[in-house]
Amino acid sequence: MLSSINARGVSSTSGRITVALLFGLIAIGSTLFRWEIPAQAVTLTRFTGPTNSQPLALSADGSFLAAVNPDNNTVSFFDVRNDRNRKLLEVPVETEPNGVAMLPNGSKTYVANTVSGTVSVLTTILQNGIVNRSIQTITAGTEPYSLVLTPNGRFLYVANARSNDITVINTATSAVITTIPLSVPEPRGLAVSNDGDDDDTDETLYVTHFLSLPVAGKVDGSDDAKEAFVSVISTGSNTVSDLATINPLTNTGFLANGDALARIPPSGPPSFTTGAYPNQLQNIAIKGPFAFVPNTCASPNGPVLFNVNTHSCLSVLNRVTNEDANQTINMHSAVGAQANPAKLFITNPWAIAAKTGANEAYIVSAASNIVVKLSLDPGSGLAAVLSDPLDPSRVLQIPTGKNPRGIVINGVDTRAYVMNYVSRSISVIKLDAAKETVLATIQSANLPAPGSQEDKIHAGKELYFTSVGVFDPAPGTTTPIRGRMSNNGWGSCGACHPFGLSDNVVWIFPSGPKRVIPQNTDFDDKDPTQQRILNWSAERDEEEDFSRNIRAVSGGAGLIVKADGVTPEDLANVPDLTPLSNANRNQLKIRGFGAWDAIKAFEQFGIRTPISPVPDTDPDVIAGRALFISANCQQCHGTSMWTNSRVTFTPPPDPSLISNGQIIDQLRQVGTFDPNFFNEVRQNGAPSIGADGFVPPSLLGLFAYPQTFFHNGAAGSLDEVMANVTHRSAGTGGVDTLTNAADRTRVVKFILSIDSGTVPIP
């Protein structure tokens, strides 16, 4: 197949790249496309500003755009010159491409293939007016997620999310120069400074780490329990020069009507100040002496109300001191304060891009399907969410496609391009006007065939990651139903379950402290009909039971309705912890599918388990597996689900199985509950449940959630987990077979190796 991302002949002299624009032909399947370009010479030496990682990329002159399609295993290329905004071609790469970067002159494009563990290199070669595509593959670390070029394009940095390191590639030779180890897990967002010269040895690389880590001396469940980190790397030495800390926000601007950890039950009007800690640091952008980090802040102390749990934060790093600039803002506050009552909160801020020629930036809200605009103070780093210039009563919110996850701005600040993950499209936004507007929407990749199983999974993914929700009209009506997922777009399933996994937060829930369970463990990926009992305390037996969470935690109207197809189901007289049968309950529809049926299909088939960097062939892993079996750990943590928990009945459960709101036969008492532990409290201030034990958690992909273990986060490492004698001897009738510390270390290493490729233990 003949293919191209551009039609340019490239020559390089004295460090300057001169591009002659000619004409080109591309063939896609059996169709031949031709475009003609006026002959001209364009000098491109480097990108005009700092660079940052994104799922889409522009050439330095803003002529061509590339965007990854993670669900299609492809990358698409677009001609965006003079607002042509047309797709040129779609190129297959390896499995689950999540990041893309393009050389300043567009001659090479790099794609991070997360599941394959590789970087694809797409090269354009001009031959007789026809551009051929050649592909080279470079091996990276485990789960390469994002990548970024230095501004002159000479070096490529790849963030390997699971091996916790950075692969450095020379773009001239495609050779791996070095691998930079990181001291903090899960590198995600990347940004490189731009000092304006052609020397690439004095730039700085900033690396966000996705999940925050516990603060020493703090109790999990408190609003300041964790802090986040950004690694600072010199591009000259390719070593970590500093580790910057992003601090908790002391005041979110929203009040609670109680304080669970202080044992003050909810009552009266809200009067308690709430804080929040930064989490889910997906992206980072540099502007002047500051780096800006959008993130979803967690405020886990109860009561769990829609406007005091998760927040849309923008944290600021001082690049001179590599310290928190203490200018974190809660972007939700701008929406909360607007005079216009039609509010849509900025949920799950996922990516950011800053203008080159102005102190302004744009952030995409992945859950609310919007872009918001911010001003940036060049002296202090303080940001402010801007109002609509044509309607000052409301925040400026530029609509996008579904689940936007990336944004880039051209070098002259006239156009922004947004990658919409669920829509599989690109939004083109006009910036050089009084008010930003969407010029075009370009389809990047095909959507699933309507009515297919893939379409059902995709519909579930759409609902899972949205804070709004658009549903089929109720029977006898023609207007789609909107906004059932949360109160004014405040929350989404993805707000606590990024990628369908876990934010690793311990929330003070109605039953007590509960660490968020990753939902790749809800169903057996070898046999999706097998489901474990849900929640730590066996309070749920069907996914539909989480309609309560949509209503109570996110403040939404929910997806279960009365016979009219609109009115929310009445749960006022149903005890909070009582499992319900969903067999005869009415669901809203999305594209003809039951809404909960679609979400369940996504959870069964659409959530991938993280890939462990620890090989099964490691001698310590092999020895640890044997010790694990000898200690009969598989009694609670066996099978391909790595938990013995199963729904063994057709819901609802027999009343004899329910005690204290729990499905009692699913619980195990293994010494992990201490009623005197400070965070063992319900959101209403009452003592938490737990004396009957907990559902054994799955060990599948457990390595991905650092320093927070057990239901309440009481263990800060797997070593601490293994130090619990009652727990480690539960499978052998109290006989401790793991008294040797070296043996326990081997068992820990085995646990850290468990992923979907690990051979199950019956």
Work out the average pLDDT over 646-667: 92
Three-state SS for 459? helix
User: Which range (107-111, 127-131, 507-511, 701-705) has the least confidence?
Assistant: 127-131
Write down the pLDDT at residue 55: 98
The answer, yes or no, to whether residue 467 has pLDDT greater than 80, is: yes
What confidence tier does 652 reach under pLDDT thresholds 50, 70, 90? confident
Lookup: tokens for 252: 């979110």
Answer yes or no: is 406 within a domain.
no
Q: Do residues 644 and 506 both lie within one domain?
A: no
Tens-place pLDDT, residues 741-752: 999 999 999 999
The answer, yes or no, to whether residue 465 has pLDDT greater than 60, is: yes
Answer yes or no: is 432 within a domain.
no
Q: Do residues 566 and 684 both lie within one domain?
A: no
Write down the pLDDT at residue 459: 98
Q: Is residue 527 within 8 Å of residue 605, measured between CB atoms?
A: no
Strand partners, 385: 374
Write down the pLDDT at residue 394: 98
Q: Is residue 429 within 8 Å of residue 408, measured between CB atoms?
A: no
Answer yes or no: is 631 within a domain.
yes
User: Which range (323-327, 347-351, 522-526) has the least confidence?
Assistant: 522-526
Tens-place pLDDT, residues 18-45: 333 323 333 333 333 333 333 333 344 6
Q: Do residues 325 and 231 both lie within one domain?
A: yes
Tens-place pLDDT, residues 571-588: 655 554 455 566 668 899
Write down the pLDDT at residue 547: 87
Tens-place pLDDT, residues 142-192: 999 999 999 999 999 999 999 999 999 999 999 999 999 999 999 999 999
The answer, yes or no, to whether residue 222 has pLDDT greater than 60, is: yes
Q: Is residue 316 within 8 Å of residue 230, measured between CB atoms?
A: no
Please state, in angstroms and as integers, the Cα–Cα distance from residue 671 to each residue in 220, 674, 692, 725, following that order: 19, 8, 11, 8
The answer, yes or no, to whether residue 654 has pLDDT greater than 50, is: yes
Write down the pLDDT at residue 134: 75
Tens-place pLDDT, residues 86-103: 999 899 999 999 999 999
Answer yes or no: is 611 within a domain.
no
**Cα 493 to Cα 453: distance, rounded to the nearest angstrom:** 21
Write down the pLDDT at residue 548: 83
Answer yes or no: is 405 within a domain.
no
Q: Residue 657 is part of a domain; what is its CATH number?
A: 1.10.760.10
Which residues fall within 8 angstroms of residue 588, CB to CB, at 6 or more apart?
471, 472, 481, 484, 559, 561, 565, 594, 595
Answer yes or no: is 196 within a domain.
no
Last residue of a domain, one of 605, 631, 661: 605
Q: Do residues 555 and 653 both lie within one domain?
A: no
Work out the average pLDDT over 703-729: 97
**3-state class percentages of the chain: helix first, strand second, coil last, to nearest 5:** 15, 35, 50
Q: Do residues 391 and 247 both lie within one domain?
A: yes
Task: Give the CB-side neighbour count of residue 449, counting CA atoms within 13 A.
Answer: 2
Work out the average pLDDT over 209-233: 97
Work out the average pLDDT over 541-564: 90
CA dihedral 154, 160, 166, 170 (to 10 degrees): -30
Write down the pLDDT at residue 123: 87
User: Which range (26-30, 463-467, 695-699, 754-758) has the least confidence?
Assistant: 26-30
Write down the pLDDT at residue 552: 86
**Cα 587 to Cα 475: distance, rounded to the nearest angstrom:** 12
Answer yes or no: is 407 within a domain.
no
**Cα 499 to Cα 623: distance, rounded to the nearest angstrom:** 32
Q: Do residues 601 and 628 both lie within one domain?
A: no
Only one residue has tokens 């598989």, namely 634
Q: Please give the radius of gyration of the chain, using alpha carbons only, rounded to the nearest integer.
A: 26
Write down the pLDDT at residue 135: 84
**Cα 182 to Cα 164: distance, rounded to the nearest angstrom:** 6
**Cα 331 to Cα 368: distance, rounded to the nearest angstrom:** 13
The answer, yes or no, to whether residue 367 has pLDDT greater than 70, is: yes
What confidence tier does 563 reach under pLDDT thresholds 50, 70, 90? confident
- The structural domain count of the chain equals 4
Write down the pLDDT at residue 575: 53
Q: Residue 13 is part of a domain; what is its CATH number?
A: 2.130.10.10
Q: Do residues 360 and 485 both lie within one domain?
A: no
Work out the average pLDDT over 617-646: 97
What confidence tier does 125 reach under pLDDT thresholds 50, 70, 90? low
The answer, yes or no, to whether residue 334 has pLDDT greater than 80, is: yes
Residue ranges making up the domain that contains 307: 211-399
Work out the average pLDDT over 502-517: 97
Last residue of a domain, one of 605, 633, 666: 605
Q: Do residues 395 and 459 both lie within one domain?
A: no
What confidence tier does 12 reach under pLDDT thresholds 50, 70, 90? very low
At residue 498, φ and ψ (nearest 5 deg) are -60, 135
Work out the average pLDDT over 602-617: 98
Last residue of a domain, one of 146, 166, 183: 183
Three-state SS for 536? coil
Tens-place pLDDT, residues 262-310: 999 999 999 999 999 999 999 999 999 999 999 999 999 999 889 999 9
- Quick one: what percent of the chain has pLDDT higher than 90? 84
Closest alpha carbon to 597 in 456, 392, 445: 456
Query: What DSSP letter does each residue of 582-638 carry, written as one string?
Result: -TT-EE-EETTEEHHHHHHHHHHHS-PPPPPSS-TT-HHHHHHHHHHHHTTTHHHH-
Write down the pLDDT at residue 16: 32
What confidence tier does 221 reach under pLDDT thresholds 50, 70, 90? very high
The answer, yes or no, to whether residue 403 has pLDDT greater than 50, is: yes
Q: Do residues 50 and 104 both lie within one domain?
A: yes
What confidence tier does 195 reach under pLDDT thresholds 50, 70, 90? confident
Q: Do residues 2 and 70 both lie within one domain?
A: yes
Write down the pLDDT at residue 582: 66
Q: Do residues 529 and 587 both lie within one domain?
A: yes
CB atoms within 10 A of CB 217: 6
Q: Do residues 591 and 634 both lie within one domain?
A: no
Q: Give me the chain's average pLDDT, please.
A: 91
Answer yes or no: is 632 within a domain.
yes
Three-state SS for 725? helix
